[in-house]
Amino acid sequence: MLAALKARDIGAVFRLVRQYGGLSQTAIGSLTGYSQGKVSAIMSGSQQVTALEVFERIADGLHMPDQACMALALAPPRPGRRTHPTAGSPPSRPAAYR
Q: Give the CATH number for residue 57.
A: 1.10.260.40
CA neighbor of 67 nearest in space, from 97, 89, 45, 39: 97
Q: Which amino acid is at 22?
A: G
Task: Give the domain range for residue 16.
Answer: 2-97
61-84 tens-digit pLDDT: 999 999 999 999 998 776 655 544
**What pLDDT digit, counting tens, does each position of 30-68 carry?**
999 999 999 999 999 999 999 999 999 999 999 999 999
Query: Residues 35-74, buried b or exposed e (16+ Cβ, 10 A)?
Result: eeebbbebbeeebebeeeeebbbbbbbbbbeeebbebbeb
CA angle 18, 19, 20 (to 5 degrees): 100
Structural domains counted in the chain: 1
